[in-house]
Structure 1
Amino acid sequence: MLCGKSLVNNFYKYKRKVWQNVIPIIKRHNATYHPPKILFFGTDNFSLPSLQALHRNCSDRLGVVTSFKSPANCVRSYAEKEKLPLKKWPIEPSDCSQFDLGVVVSFGHMIPANIINGFPNGMINVHASLLPKWRGAAPIMYAIMKGDASTGVSIMKIEPHRFDIGAILAQREVVIKPDVFMPELHASLALLGADLLVDTVNNVQERLKEAKLQDNTNASYAPKITNKLTEVVWSELSAFDIYTRYRALFGYKNLTTSFLGKQVQLLELRIPERELLVQEPGTFKYQKQRKSLLIGCAQDSQLEILQLRVEGRKPMNAQDFNNGFLKGARSLNFTQNKLSAN
C-alpha cells in the first residue's frame, strides 16, 4: 500500500511538472499564432454562423463581401452591427490583396478567376453535402427528398468557371433523422459547417497540402428547386414519397395540387399511423373523427391532409375545407396541378 501511495504521489508531482512546462508553451503559441486574414463572401442565414465563428476566431483580421440587393440580408446586418470592413459585390481583384484567404459560404454568385487568384491561398467554400454527392444549389433538400441516411458538410477549394468541383480539405458527416424537416437540418449543418471552417482556416496550409480531388464518377446534382418539383402527381408518387418531399421543401415551397380548376397548396401533411380505407390516387374523403382529408396515393398508400390553402383563399384546416367546399361538390378528387397540365 505504501508503495502504491508513493507511486500515486509521484505521478501527480510529475503531472504538475509537465503542465508547468506545457502551459507556458501553450500561452506562447496562442500569443504568437495569427489566423489568416480572411475576406468572407456570404448572403443568408446559412452563411451567418460561419461569419460569426470566423469573427470570434479572427477578430480584426476579417472583412465581408455581400450583396446589397436585399434589405433583409443578415450577413450585411451583422457586419454593420459589428463594424466589420464591408464591401458590396461585385468587387475588384485589388480588394483581395490585403487578405490571405477568401471564404465563401452560401454566396450564390459565380466568382471569377481574377478574384480567386487575388488571394495568396486562393478561396475555399463551405458546402452542405458530402461532396461529390449533391453538387449544386439545393443539397440539403435533395438529401432529405431522396431518402439519404446521412449527409454532412465539405470544405473545398474554389475553382473558376464551375461550382462545387474543387479538391476537398475537410468533411464531417451527420445522420439524417427519418422525421427531420429541412429547417432543422439546415440549421444544424450551418453550425457544423461553421465549426469545421474555423478548424480548417486555423490549419489552412496543412489542409491545402493534403486536399483530395473529388471523384467525378460519383457526382450527383442538386439543382435549384423549381415549381415543377412541388406539383404532386398522385398516381405516380407514394405517400412516403410525397411526405418526404414535403419535409424536404418545408419552409421554402409548398406542395401543390388542383381541385375543381383551382390550385391548392398543401400546408400540413402526415402519414397515418395505421392503414386506413384505400382510396384511388387523388381521391379523398373527409374523416370527421381525425379532422383530416384522407387521400389515396400510388402503391395503395394513403396520406392525411390537415391544412391547405385554396387559390384566392386564406389557409384553412381540413374541417373548414370540408364545410366550405365539399358539400355538393361534383368530384372529391385532387387532380394534376394546372401548372403541370400545361
Structure 2
Amino acid sequence: MAPEIIEDGMWLKFAILLPKTFSYKLFATSVWVMVTIQVMETVNPQFNLPKLRYHVRFKSSLSVIFYGSDVFSLASLQKLYNLLTVPADFKTVKGSSNECLIDRLEIVTKNDLNRVAQFAKAKGLTVHQWPHRLKPDCYDLGVVVSFGQLIDEESIKSCKYGMINVHPSLLPKYRGSTPIQKAVYAGDKETGLSVVTIQPKKYDIGKILLQQRIEIAEGSKAIDLYNSLAEIGATLLIQCISNLPFYLSNAKDQQKEGISYAVKLKKSDGQIDWRVMTSDLVDRTFRAYDGFIPIYCNWINGSPLFLMDMIDTRLTHKLNWDNLEKIVFGHVCHDKPGLVMYNSRLNGVCFKCKDNKWVVFRKLALKNYAKMTALDFKNGFISKQKQPLILPSKSFRSYQMIEFKMTSNQNSDTNVTPCGQRFLINYKPSDPIKSRYNWMVFLLIISVTIAMVSILWVTYLWIKSNEIKSQLKPNQLFDTGRQIINELTARTHIQHENRSEENKFDLKSLFNIAKDAVRKFNETIHSDADH
C-alpha cells in the first residue's frame, strides 16, 4: 500500500518509507533534501522555512472532531490525543504496534475557560467555539462526550462515519445529562457505559455500538463514580475507534422497554426536609448530589444551612442513639424529625430524620458565613442557645415549636442545639384563608388612593377657577359686554338702512362689524385683568 504525503502545518520534517518500486532518483532526492534541511537547522536555528511537516497517512487514519466541555469529557480527549502521534521514524508502518489511528484532531467546546479548552490549547490543538457548523466532508468521525448540546443534522452528516457518543449509563436507562447522579440517588446496584451513535433532534437515542456494566459499591459517591466512569468510557471509546467499521456494522437499536430519563439537576434537589426524608434517603441524596449542587436544610430563621462531609450511615446506625436521647432529653424522642445536637465523640452535628435515625455532618456553613467545622458551629451557634427545638421543614411557615425538658444529668459529650425559642416561641403561622384576600386588599388600597387623588385634583381646579373669576371683575365685564352689544346693534342698523334693497344682507360687512366688536371686547378684558 503506497503511503500518502499530507501537510499538517508544522516545521518541515520527513518520515518517508519508500517501497522498492520507487525510482532511485526519487529516493536519492528525498535523502538529499532531508540532509540539507537538517544541516541548515543545525547551523542556523532560525532557519526560516515554511511551517510544514509531512508524515505518513494510511487510509485507516481518521480525522476527528471532538465535542466536550467538562472533566468527564477530558478523559476521552486525553486518550484521543495520545493517538495523535506524528510518526518520527519508520515504526509507524501499518501493522506495527504504534500505528497512527488519528491524523487530525480538532475541538468544539462552549467557552475558553473549561478544562477541555485549556487542555486543547496547551497541546496546540485547534479549538472552535460553539455553535460551530461543520463543512461537508471535512472530518471522518465526530466524537461527543458530555457536551450537553444538540448537534445539527448537517454537521452529523458532514462526517464520513457520522458521530458517536460516550454516555455513562446502560441505555435506554437514564437518558439525559445526570445518569450517574440518578443511579446513586435511586440506590442502583450497577450502572454502566454505552457508546452510541448520535442522532439529530434528540439526546441518547442512537444505536448501541458497545456497552459495559459497572458495579456500584455500597456507599459510593457519585463524584467518585463520575471520575472512574470517565476513564472507563475513554477506554471503550478507543476500543470502538480502533475497529470502527465492525462496530458500526453491528450496531443495535435501543430497547423500547425500560426507558427512563435523568434531567438536569436543580438547586432545590439538594434540599433536605427532615420531616419527610428517611436517613437512607438523606444518605443517598448526599452521595448522589454532593460535589454537583449544594446540600442544605433550613435553619431556625429560615436561612439555608449547608451540609458537608457526611459520616457514613453504616457507622452511625451502629450507635445506640436511644441512650443518647435519654441522657439529653430524659426520654427517647420518637417522631421528632429535625432535632439537632452536637456529639463530641463523632465530632459532628447530628440531625434526626423521619425514621427516628440520625445522620451526622462534620462541616457546615450558614448563608453569609464561612465554612465551619462541627465544633466551630457548635461553639458559635449551638452553645449560645438555651432551649432545644426542631428545625423547620422546607416551608418555614409550617414550623412548630416543640419544647423539651432538660435533665440535670446532661452528658458533657453531647450538647443539644440551639435554638432560639426566644425568637420563635410567639411565632404563629399565617391563616391560609386570610392570605387569599391579600391581592383583593391590595386592589382596594389602590382604588381608594386613586379616588382620593381625584377628589383633591377636582378641589384644586375649583379653587383655581374661582381665583380667575375674581381677577376678571364680573360686574365690570358685564357692563362692558352690554355696551359692545349695543354698539354692534346700532352700527348694524345704520349700515342696513343705508344700503339698497339688493345689498341689505351683505354678509361680509356683518363679519367685519363682528370682528371689530370682538377685538374691542378682548382689549377691554386684558386691560381689566392688568388693573
State the TM-score, normalized to the length of structure 1.
0.84
1:225 Cα deviation from its structure 2 partner: 0.7
| Secondary structure at the counterpart of residue 61 of structure 1 | strand
**2:237 equivalent in structure 1:** 197
Q: Select the residue among 105, 118, 121 that pairs with 1:77.
A: 118
**1:61 equivalent in structure 2:** 104
Q: Is the 8 A contact 1:41 1:65 kept in 2?
A: yes
Q: Structure 1, residues 28-79: CA drift from partner, whole Å, max 9, x if none?
A: xx995734221111111111111111121244322211122x52x1111121
Name the CA distance, whole Å, in 2 between partners of 1:245 and 1:36: 43
The answer on 1:333 being equivalent to 2:390 is: yes
Q: Is the 8 A contact 1:93 1:115 kept in 2?
A: yes
Q: Select the residue among 218, 225, 233 that pairs with 1:178.
A: 218
Name the CA distance, whole Å, in 1 between partners of 2:127 and 2:381: 53
The answer on 1:293 being equivalent to 2:349 is: yes
1:40-59 aligned within 5 A: 40-59=66-85
Q: How many residues align?
A: 309
Find the structure with the greater CA-based Rg. 2
Name the CA distance, whole Å, in 2 between partners of 1:340 and 1:268: 29
Name the CA distance, whole Å, in 1 between partners of 2:269 and 2:386: 28
**2:371 equivalent in structure 1:** 315
Q: Structure 1, residues 137-174: CA drift from partner, whole Å, max 9, x if none?
A: 11111111111111111100111111011110001111
1:318 Cα deviation from its structure 2 partner: 2.1
Q: Select the residue among 158, 176, 186 that pairs with 1:118.
A: 158
**1:160 equivalent in structure 2:** 200
**Which structure dedicates a bigger proportion of its chain to helix?**
2
Q: What is the percent sequence identity of the aligned residues?
A: 32
Q: 1:90 to 1:206 in 2, by over 3 A?
A: same
CA RMSD, 1 decimal? 2.1
Name the CA distance, whole Å, in 2 between partners of 1:82 and 1:156: 28
1:1-342 aligned within 5 A: 34-59=60-85, 60-68=103-111, 70-71=112-113, 73-94=114-135, 97-261=137-301, 262-270=303-311, 271=313, 272-275=316-319, 276-277=321-322, 279=333, 280-326=336-382, 327-328=384-385, 330-337=387-394
State the TM-score, normalized to the length of structure 2.
0.55
| Secondary structure at the counterpart of residue 164 of structure 1 | coil
* Comparing 294-303 and 207-216, the one that deviates more: 294-303
| Secondary structure at the counterpart of residue 172 of structure 1 | strand
**Which structure dedicates a bigger proportion of its chain to strand?**
1
* Comparing 131-140 and 289-298, the one that deviates more: 289-298
Q: 1:80 to 1:288 in 2, by over 3 A?
A: closer
Name the CA distance, whole Å, in 1 between partners of 2:361 and 2:390: 13
Q: 1:77 to 1:328 in 2, by over 3 A?
A: closer
Q: 1:32 to 1:110 in 2, by over 3 A?
A: closer
Q: Is the 8 A contact 2:138 2:158 kept in 1?
A: no
Name the CA distance, whole Å, in 2 between partners of 1:232 and 1:56: 44
Give the counterpart letter for 2:318 in structure 1. R
Q: Is the 8 A contact 2:275 2:393 kept in 1?
A: no
Name the CA distance, whole Å, in 1 between partners of 2:121 and 2:299: 48
- Higher relative CO (Cα under 8 Å, sequence separation at least 6) belongs to 1
**1:26 equivalent in structure 2:** none
Could you list the runs of 5+ residues in structure 2 that have no partner in the other structure? Answer: 1-55, 86-102, 323-331, 399-531
